[in-house]
Amino acid sequence: MTGPTVATLTALTLGLQVAAPVVFVGIVAGVVIVDYADRLDDRQQVDR
């Protein structure tokens, strides 16, 4: 029983270590894109 459990935990841990940065980068990129879009929108309104 211990063998498969340890293997599963190891796989999950490695998966989380790989997934966490990817998710973090994705969230940061999303925030940056939204912020940039808001600024562009503000500039266009000022120009009008």
Q: What is the pLDDT of residue 3?
A: 77
Residue 14 lies in a domain: no
Helix and strand numbers (H, E) in the chain are: 1, 0
Round to whole Å and give the CA distance between 23 and 5. Answer: 26
Q: What is the pLDDT of residue 48?
A: 59
Q: What is the pLDDT of residue 1?
A: 58
Residue 42 lies in a domain: yes
Q: Which domain holds residue 30?
A: 20-48
Number of structural domains in the chain: 1
Q: What pLDDT digit, counting tens, does each position of 1-48 carry?
A: 577 899 999 999 999 999 999 999 999 999 999 999 999 998 888 765
Residue 45 lies in a domain: yes
Q: What is the pLDDT of residue 8?
A: 94
